């Protein structure tokens, strides 16, 4: 007969079910030239679903739509963007008023912005590479990440919006976490996951529903039990000869 069982619930700790300026040298004798053109913001090399769009140019005579900006009929060439039509001269960045007719733009909060202004005023910063995110954003650990910057610490594959676990501050996908740190149930051989009720007996760890008599499958949780060849047995089958 074996002593009382140690039971518990695996803790859930770690389970996660995510102004412009120029610096001078202070010398008045150095003439200031025109401010250099800002470089075009570049998406992360592996950014997916980039937010940057381009307007489509429609020649005159095709049709006479209404301009989404001034609500006047457009007679002549026009632009199509975000499912609406625009006078070319009225499709501008909401912040700096730069024309967006021939450059990329991003829609944000019902307005359109050039890439520069979107990057400066709206785009979140990736926690890993510290560059702006111009595509899909992963929200995890109260931070924002590029898809290919939030990776499993072992397999180095993107975790995306899947469940992950933390170990020593590093994120792991479920498969690698249980492979490296998980405890397997001796009964079903599946991992005992966070929140699962478990018990320890015969030198092994079991799901509470897996600790049953090897002969009749009666649950043995909280019950007196016997064992033979490391297999639990109820009192009725304690002397079973063949297992």
3-state secondary structure 94-135: CCCCCECCCCCEEEECCEEEEHHHHHHHCCCECCCCCCECCC
Q: Given a cut of 60, is residue 37 above it in pLDDT?
A: no
**Does residue 18 sit within a domain?**
no
DSSP three-state, residue 88: helix
* Tens digits of residue pLDDT in 184-223: 888 887 888 777 888 888 888 888 999 999 999 999 988 8
**Does residue 124 sit within a domain?**
no
Q: Given a cut of 90, is residue 100 above it in pLDDT?
A: yes
Determine the average pLDDT of the residues in 10-32: 38
How much is the pTM?
Answer: 0.54
**Does residue 228 sit within a domain?**
yes
Tokens of 109: 């909060």
Determine the average pLDDT of the residues in 3-29: 41
Q: Given a cut of 90, is residue 46 above it in pLDDT?
A: no
Phi, psi of 8 (to 5 degrees): -175, -175
Report the domain count for the chain.
Answer: 2
* Tens digits of residue pLDDT in 47-99: 556 788 999 999 988 788 999 999 999 999 999 999 999 999 999 999 999 99
CA dihedral 178, 183, 187, 193 (to 10 degrees): -60
**Does residue 195 sit within a domain?**
yes
Yes or no: say if 174 and 157 are a contact pair by the CB < 8 Å rule: no
Write out the residue range of the structural domain in which residue 101 sits.
53-118
Q: For residue 233, give the CATH number of its domain.
A: 2.10.110.10
**Does residue 218 sit within a domain?**
yes
Last residue of a domain, one of 61, 92, 118: 118
**Does residue 208 sit within a domain?**
yes
Last residue of a domain, one of 76, 94, 118: 118
Q: Given a cut of 90, is residue 239 above it in pLDDT?
A: no
**Does residue 19 sit within a domain?**
no
Tokens of 92: 């501008």
Last residue of a domain, one of 118, 137, 166: 118
**Does residue 114 sit within a domain?**
yes
């Amino acid at each position: 007969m074996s002593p009382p069982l140690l039971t518990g619930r695996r803790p859930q700790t770690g389970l996660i079910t995510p102004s412009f300026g120029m610096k001078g040298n202070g010398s008045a004798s150095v003439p200031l030239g025109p401010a250099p053109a800002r470089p075009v913001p570049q998406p992360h090399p592996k950014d997916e679903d980039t937010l940057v769009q381009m307007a489509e140019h429609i020649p005159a005579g095709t049709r006479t739509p209404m301009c989404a900006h001034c609500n006047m009929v457009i007679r002549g060439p026009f632009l199509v963007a975000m499912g609406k039509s625009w006078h070319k001269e009225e499709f501008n960045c909401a912040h700096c008023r730069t024309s967006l007719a021939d450059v990329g733009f991003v829609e944000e909060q019902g307005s359109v912005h050039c890439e520069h202004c979107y990057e400066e005023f709206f785009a979140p910063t990736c926690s890993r590479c510290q560059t702006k995110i111009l595509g899909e954003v992963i929200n995890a650990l109260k931070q924002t990440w590029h898809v290919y910057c939030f990776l499993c610490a072992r397999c180095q594959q993107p975790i995306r919006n899947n469940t992950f676990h933390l170990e020593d501050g590093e994120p792991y996908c479920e498969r690698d976490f249980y492979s490296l740190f998980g405890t397997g149930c001796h009964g079903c051989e599946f991992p005992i996951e966070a929140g699962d009720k478990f018990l320890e007996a015969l030198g092994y760890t079991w799901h509470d529903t897996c600790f049953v008599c090897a002969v009749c499958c009666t649950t043995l949780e909280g019950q007196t039990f016997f064992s033979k060849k490391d297999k639990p047995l109820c009192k009725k089958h304690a002397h079973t000869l063949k297992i």
